[in-house]
Structure 1
Amino acid sequence: MENRLLGNVKVNVTNRNEILSKITTRLNEKQKTVILFLNAHCYNIAQKDDIYRKHINASDFVLNDGIGVELGAKLFNFRFDENLNGTDFTPQLLEAAAISGDSIFLLGGQPGVAETAKTKLERRIPGLKIVGCSDGYFTHSQKIVEQINQSKADIVIVGMGVPLQEKWIYNHKDLIHSTLFVGVGAYIDFASERIKRAPSLLRKMRMEWLYRLLHEPKRLWKRNIGSLIFFYYIFKNKSRKKRG
């Protein structure tokens, strides 16, 4: 596994077998760990939000999500082994947790979504132990921290959107007894089936972004226009690197 810089933002070059092995080891050794995902939208936010960028760069593992960062990496003369987007990787992490006996807390989504995701995930993944869940629309973090600690969850899956979920994790992880924290964006919505994923053919063609844009145009049109902004930042940071 390598740590690389995509300009001013850290990302890991790894594959799912290697990262799952490292996560398992850290869980067994009770090493507090943060996993985040980096896509073009995240990168754009990181250029404007210094605190968010600091959290990404301080994370134990930052996994590449999508074709944007894949193309960006080539401009910085490195490449990824495979696409490790959170929506596909998180179920594999949960399957590994079911085998190892590690327990899960789901945090995020609208009221009722995490509970629905819990039911559906436990049906799909034999042996999965989801010991607690909460929506992401709370006003008192202390109560959520207490709820997670009372659940004795080993892994906290946080789906509150970027950069809120990352800031929440870093503001509270030292108060929480859990070992692994994963910022997963919309994964809890996908797991609950409140939001449908693109057909597998579109996913294989790396065009899930288009499917989501057509289904949620009001929410996602700015993000997809942001792909152009992403490459502006990539070239800007590459230019800085050359001058430096």
Structure 2
Amino acid sequence: MIPILISHILRTNLRGLDNLFMDKGKIYTFLNPVSYLMALDRKDLFGQFDGIFADGSILVAAIRLLYGITVKRRSFDMTSMAPELFRFAENNGKMLYIVASKQEQVEKAVEIFKERYPKLKFMGCRNGYFVSEQEMDAEAKHITQVNPDFLIVGMGALMQERFLLKVRNAGFQGIGFTCGGFIHQTANNEIEYYPLWIDRMNLRFVYRMYKEKHTRKRYVQAALLFPARFLWEKLIFSWYKDSKPL
């Protein structure tokens, strides 16, 4: 018996991206050690997603160490999934829609994407700040009406998952992904946010702590709490499995 979040990650890991990009009406998110801690308290939310990717070498290593299974790191940035999705969309004439960051940032990011991928088509974009649930509901309905092939949402952990689930429940027939801070990073002229040597050495979280001061507290907290809670969850499920009557 495997915890629900790990089970989701393992199932998602078995899927090829081209197949995933063609499977309509699905929504996907990503977990790193920081967001994994949040997800442990919101399994009701994350359990409704069609797939969860292991975002970060630390989570990948933890799964390999405690469960003996190797999963591929997938992040929605230019070191991983984003260029594959953009190339797929270009080659197949697919339309994108983005909800993320501040308005000027998301618009600038779209311009940068178009420069890098001239054939990439955007159906629309808007900021990720909503004043009420009603505004979120209205935007979710609008997205289902314009019906983009791919929806990319970057609003911070939990909020972006809540919104993407709203869109799916409103009848969205495309494919949705959360993207964390990808749009914000791109808008700062950092589409290649991580230097190549940082990416190769799996030091992305250290680099982000250096570049973005607001991330330092949560990364330090995760460094202290994630190993303990991840191990505890494994022990609890192992005990439950062993204690069940034959």
TM (norm. structure 2) is 0.85
Give 2:147's aligned amino acid. K
TM (norm. structure 1) is 0.85
User: Match of 2:38?
Assistant: 45
Change (3 A) 1:173 1:68: same
CA contact (8 A) 1:36 1:59 kept: yes
Task: Please state how far the C-alpha of 1:128 moved relative to its aligned partner.
Answer: 0.8
Identify unmatched segments of 5+ residues in structure 1: none
Q: Say whether residues 1:22 and 2:12 are aligned partners.
A: no
137, 140, 147: which one aligns with 1:145: 140
User: Match of 1:210?
Assistant: 206
User: Match of 1:59?
Assistant: 49
Residue deviations 1:108-162 (CA, integer Å, cap 9, x gap): 1012111111111111113111110000112212342344245431111000110
171, 174, 178: which one aligns with 2:169: 174
User: Match of 1:115?
Assistant: 107
User: 4+ residue runs of structure 1 moved beyond 6 angstroms?
Assistant: none
Q: Which structure carries more strand by proportion?
A: 1
Identify unmatched segments of 5+ residues in structure 2: 241-246
User: Match of 2:93?
Assistant: 101
Task: Please state how far the C-alpha of 1:194 moved relative to its aligned partner.
Answer: 5.5
Task: Please state how far the C-alpha of 1:201 moved relative to its aligned partner.
Answer: 0.4
CA contact (8 A) 1:156 1:178 kept: no
User: Match of 1:32?
Assistant: 25
Overall identity of the aligned pairs, in %: 21
Change (3 A) 1:169 1:120: same
**Aligned equivalents of 1:142 and 1:60: distance in 2?**
21
Task: Please state how far the C-alpha of 1:176 moved relative to its aligned partner.
Answer: 4.5
**Aligned equivalents of 1:178 and 1:112: distance in 2?**
28
Q: Say whether residues 1:183 and 2:148 are aligned partners.
A: no
CA contact (8 A) 1:38 1:65 kept: yes
1:126 match: secondary structure:
coil
**Aligned equivalents of 1:115 and 1:176: distance in 2?**
26
CA contact (8 A) 2:154 2:182 kept: yes
CA contact (8 A) 1:132 1:148 kept: no
- State the Cα RMSD in Å: 2.2
User: Match of 1:82?
Assistant: 72
Task: Please state how far the C-alpha of 1:15 moved relative to its aligned partner.
Answer: 6.1
CA contact (8 A) 1:86 1:184 kept: yes
Q: Say whether residues 1:68 and 2:58 are aligned partners.
A: yes
